[in-house]
Amino acid sequence: MIRLAVLGNGTEVDECLAIAPRLRGASFAVTADIEELNNDAFDAVVIGDGVSHEDNCRFAAARGKHVLLSIPLGTSAEVSALTQECEAHDVRFMVGFASRFLPSVRTIKQSLDSGQLGAPGLLRIHRWQSAAIRATDASTDIDLAIWIFQTLPTQVYAVARRGTDDAFEYIQIHLGFPDGGMGLIDVSNALPSANDYFSLSLIGSVGAAYADDHHNQQLLFRGESPVALKTSEGHAARLAEVQEFVDAIHEQREPGVTGADARAAMTVCEAARQSSECGLPARLTGDRYEC
Amino acid sequence: MSARPNDRCRCAVLSVVKHAYVPNGVASHPRFELVVVADDADQPDWVHERNQLYADQNDIPYVRDVEKAIRDFDVQVGVVSSEAERHCDLSVRAANAGLHVVQDKPMSISVSECDRLVEAVVCNNVKFLMWNRNFLPALIHAHQAVTDGTIGQLFAIHVDFYFAKDSGPQKGSRQPGDPPINWLERQIEAHADGSDGGVGCEPMGELQIEGIYPLAYIRMLTGVDVKRVFARTTAHFHQANVDNDVDDLATVTLEMDGGVTGSLCIGRIGAASHPDIGEIKVHMLGSEGALVISEARPEVSIHYRGQPATEFRNRRVGIDNDYLLMDDLANAIDNARPTILDAIAGRAITATVAAAVESGKSAEVVEVC
């Protein structure tokens, strides 16, 4: 039985508590104090939002605790350093790109992997929310694109819109993959309070798949225009993500999302930011992007 | 030959070699009457055969001389539905003869040809309507919501425009020693199933063939011009597109006046990729909210035992696009105002498509000229 600590004060904590009874091979406890990792009460830690990722990850790894690190991440360099730190202490390091574990996305990926859709040609993602966009928020969708095309994009072109405080309000990222593959991602914080919208479509050479919140709305009638209510996928993504972390520890293998995956996504994210600032596409040269 | 307000307009169909939705759409409005089909005498036999067939189906004469038909049949409107590379030339000749013009897409694959047409339309003070889908119910709804300010100031717009249709042999099906697929022959063959939107000698990708529709949505909903594009294009599905070096799948980033950003995903993605005609959606973001529109709505679903696999399960209903387009032209004629997609707008869209095609080949950001 893996004993998991959950550190943080974001939604991850509530979600972990919600999934705890359904987790196989692990138990959960919430802690607000990183020092508790000094004792043998825990084998692994889920580091959520609201606490220092870098400091806590280093602290945990140094004490032999496996780490599941939630996004947002800092920089690609930081992710590389943390990956090396975990390798040096022989602990598993997983990055929490929870979108990979959404039932809708997993279903599409399974269909792609089985060959039903043929070669991926075009990936389109809309991610709209009311919460502020952090510079790295697009990394989760960039990770999806890299995961689906199984390679880094060779071209990255981005257009961004910033608010009065210079924070991103909107970013649109255009990816070019080898063999003609392409991706378009847009992330916005323009939705009214407490709203969010996600849509992913994948066009393959012999089929296509569509996961769209638009298709999964119920209607509520309370006078005037009806209100659309999204049918949630619940905590299934978080459960699958944490279960993968636990299984990787048990099976002494690399988890489904590695530090290298996160570094790749962050590198592209940084290229997008660079592109949006210079107004030119960033191109992959060696292992770097240059405008 | 100018029409007076509320006069019935006599229309000459100037070549009708594709599926005949444009002249049929024109005839859906009681104000407009098809009276003759005309084309140039030097056209190949297959063109004359299709023109003659359409004339026979509509019980009107076919004249192998465009200018003579215009002179002899007292027409006020020319309806152009020829091969794409002849669109502008026939429209210019119609405009120079004083006719209002209704033209099938694409406007042209040459921006300079569009410039010639814009000049002819302006000089002859006639009306021009590029055929489009802006009056589909969902688009009317979207336009109303935007103009009402429901989502505030629009700052981003995205259109997915996929046609779930096949187009001849699949990519990779060409055997060693086989000749490349001849574009025109493939398009002539495609007439049987109505997928000959790119008919003509000049090969065209989906951006060029169908791009006018989604870009017309974007133009109507934003009201601004596209200034810069970045595009990715590929032939992902069909051997004819591979052999002729034209796209069947494309994505375009659009940077527009007023700081509006947009994107377009377009492709002829194969019949297996969607149960109906294809996923066609508009996503809009504004300062006060957002709007997600499915172009197919309203629709009804029909399912029954023995249903052919190729039959659409969802059928669009309440469509009045043809009539509303022609009503728009009638209003433009009567009230001296532009049509919903006039020659200047059509030219702007052609320039955007040309820039996207160039960007797809060069992998550079391209200014729209």
pLDDT, tens digit (0-9, with 9 covering 90-100), for B198-234: 899 999 999 999 999 999 999 999 999 999 999 999 9
Query: What percentage of chain B has pLDDT greater than the value 90?
Result: 92
CATH of the domain at A136: 3.30.360.10
- Please answer yes or no on whether A122 and B230 come within 8 Å at the CB atom: no
pLDDT of the residue at B191: 86
A89 and A18 within one domain: yes
SS3 A269: helix
* Cβ B206 vs Cβ B250: under 8 Å: yes
A78 pLDDT above the threshold of 70: yes
The architecture that CATH gives domain B137-319+342-367 is 2-Layer Sandwich (3.30)
Residue A174 to residue B232, Cβ atoms within 8 A: yes
How much is the average pLDDT of A21-46? 85
What confidence tens digit (pLDDT) does each residue in B237-261 have? 999 999 999 999 999 999 999 999 9
The answer on A244 and A106 residing in a single domain is no
The pLDDT, as a whole number, for residue A254 is 96
Q: Does the pTM exceed 0.90?
A: yes
Give residue ranges of B with CB < 8 Å to any A CB.
Answer: 155-156, 158, 160, 162, 164, 170-171, 230, 232-237, 249-251, 253, 255, 259, 261, 263, 265, 267, 269-270, 272-274, 279, 281, 283, 285-290, 292, 294, 363-365
Q: Which pLDDT score, from 0 to 100, does residue A32 have?
A: 66
Same domain, A245 and A178: no
Chain A hits for B273, CB-CB cut-off 8 Å, are 203-204, 207-208
Residue range(s) in chain B whose domain bears CATH number 3.40.50.720: 9-126
Q: Give mean pLDDT, residues A53-71.
A: 92
pLDDT band of B5, cuts 50, 70, 90:
low
CATH class for the domain made up of B9-126: alpha beta
Q: From its phi and psi, is residue B314 left (phi > 0), alpha (psi between -120 and 50) or beta?
A: beta
The number of residues making up chain A comes to 291
Domain that holds residue A188: 100-233+268-290
Residues near B188 by Cβ (< 8 Å), separated by ≥ 6?
Answer: B46, B196, B199
Q: Which residues of A touch B (CB under 8 A)?
A: 119, 121-122, 124, 126, 128, 155, 157, 159, 161, 170, 172, 174, 176, 179-184, 186, 188, 190-192, 197, 199, 201, 203-208, 210, 214, 279-281, 283
A26 and A166 both lie in a single domain: no
**A261 within some domain:** no
Distance, in Å, from the CA atom of B48 to the CA atom of B45, rounded to the nearest integer, reads: 5
Helix/strand/coil for B159:
strand
CA A225 to chain centroid, in Å, comes to 35
Both A175 and A286 in one domain: the answer is yes
**Residue A135: per-residue pLDDT:** 65
Structure tokens at A205: 């050479």
Whether residue A285 is found in the same domain as residue A144: yes
Q: With 90 as the cut, is the pLDDT of residue A30 above it?
A: no
A252 and A274 both lie in a single domain: no
- Dump strand ranges (E) for A168-291: 168-176, 182-188, 196-204, 208-212, 217-220, 227-230, 282-285, 288-290
pLDDT at B4: 59
Chain A residue numbers touching B289 (CB-CB < 8 A): 190-192
Question: What's residue A92's pLDDT?
Answer: 97
Q: Which CATH number characterizes residue A60's domain?
A: 3.40.50.720
Count CB-CB contacts under 10 A for residue A226.
12
- Give me the pLDDT at residue B1, please: 47
Per CB-CB distance under 8 Å, the chain A contacts of B270 are: 205-207
Tokens, residue B218: 């974007």
Which residues on chain B are in Cβ contact (under 8 Å) with A157? 230, 253, 365
Domain tally, chain A:
2
Q: What's the angle, vertex CA B14, arms to CA B10 and CA B20, rounded to 5?
A: 90
Whether residue A12 is found in the same domain as residue A153 = no
pLDDT tens-place string over residues B13-70: 999 998 899 999 999 999 999 999 999 999 999 999 999 999 999 999 999 999 999 9
pLDDT for position B75: 97
Residue A166: predicted pLDDT: 75
Contact A159 B253 (CB under 8 A): yes
Give tens-digit pLDDT for B119-167. 999 999 999 999 999 999 999 999 999 999 999 999 999 999 999 989 8
Residue A214 lies in a domain: yes
- Hey, which residues does A94 pair with through a beta bridge? A68
Of the pLDDT bands very low, low, confident and very high (cuts 50, 70, 90), residue A11 is confident
Instruction: Please report, for residues A47, A69, A243, B7, the alpha-carbon distance to residue A98 in angstroms, rounded to integers and kept in the order given.
Output: 13, 11, 12, 64
Residues A140 and A280 in one domain: yes
Q: Tell me the average pLDDT across B70-76.
A: 97
Check: CB of residue A174 under 8 Å from CB of residue A158: yes
pLDDT in tens, A166-177: 788 999 999 999
User: B261-288 pLDDT, tens per residue?
Assistant: 999 999 999 999 998 889 999 999 999 9
pLDDT band at B3 (very low <50, low <70, confident <90, very high): low
Decide if pLDDT at B2 tops 60: no
Beta carbons within 10 angstroms of residue A20's beta carbon: 17
* Contact at CB, A197 and B272, closer than 8 angstroms: no
Q: Is A188:A133 a contact under the CB 8 Å cutoff?
A: yes
Residue A263 lies in a domain: no
- Cβ separation of A205 and B237 shorter than 8 Å? yes
Q: What is the ipTM of this complex?
A: 0.95
Residues A186 and A228 in one domain: yes
Residue A14 has pLDDT above 90, yes or no: no
Q: Are residues A132 and A173 in the same domain?
A: yes
Locate the chain A residue with the closest alpha carbon to B254. Answer: A159
Residue among A122, A126, A159 minimizing CB distance to B158: A126
- On the 0-12 / 13-18 / 19+ scale of CB atoms within 10 A, A60 is buried
pLDDT at residue A73 above 90? Answer: no
**Which secondary-structure segment (H or E) carries B67?**
helix B66-72
A121–chain B nearest CA distance, Å: 7
Contacts B249 to A, Cβ<8 Å? 121-122, 180, 182, 203
| Partner residue facing A188 (CB), from B156, B272, B273 | B156
Mean pLDDT, chain B, whole residue set:
95
